[in-house]
Amino acid sequence: MPEKRSLADNIPLLDKGKAMKFIIYGLLVAILFGLMMMISRSIALDADEWQTLAIFENQMNYEHGVYGYTDYVLRGDQITRIYNWMNFQDVIFMNIARVGINIALVFILIGFLSFAVAENIDERTRRIFLIIAGMILFLVMFTTFFASITVSVT
């Protein structure tokens, strides 16, 4: 009976096709989570403009008799609440994206590592794949342990 191998056992022995799939899927997932993060950031940055528009619309609706004073006050409170949520959702989605992107980078890393240890590739190419894998590992470690990277010139 052939020995059952788990995914973890198979990792160093991934063939070229599977390794390429890992890299491509990892890239796709990273792009999707990155998009999610940028959209969330854009919503948070533009929350001020939305609030200005919503307050103006609320005033106009009151002036045109769409609703009365109590509803005008309630809608004002709703606008403030939604504005605060628009600012706060950035924290939630950024952290989800951080987890997703790191997982995607791990998949890409596994793909490049598999190429680096593949025997049917020439030495120079394997070295390049290993360097790329090392760079991705460095990026994963750095983004895991540090909140942001800043460069200041004085």
Residues forming the site for other proteins (CB under 8 A):
7, 59, 62-65, 67-73
Q: Which is nearer to other proteins, 59 or 125 (CB)?
A: 59
Least gap, CB of 107 to other proteins (angstroms): 12
Least gap, CB of 73 to other proteins (angstroms): 8
Write out the chain in H/E/C secondary structure. CCCCCCHHHHHHHCCHHHHHHHHHHHHHHHHHHHHHHHHHHHHHHCHHHHHHHHHHHHHHHHHCCCCCHHHHHHHHHHHHHHHHHHHHHHHHHHHHHHHHHHHHHHHHHHHHHHHHHCCCCCHHHHHHHHHHHHHHHHHHHHHHHCCCCCCCCC
Q: Which is nearer to other proteins, 4 or 124 (CB)?
A: 4
Least gap, CB of 153 to other proteins (angstroms): 45
Q: Which is nearer to other proteins, 15 or 131 (CB)?
A: 15
Q: Which is nearer to other proteins, 7 or 149 (CB)?
A: 7
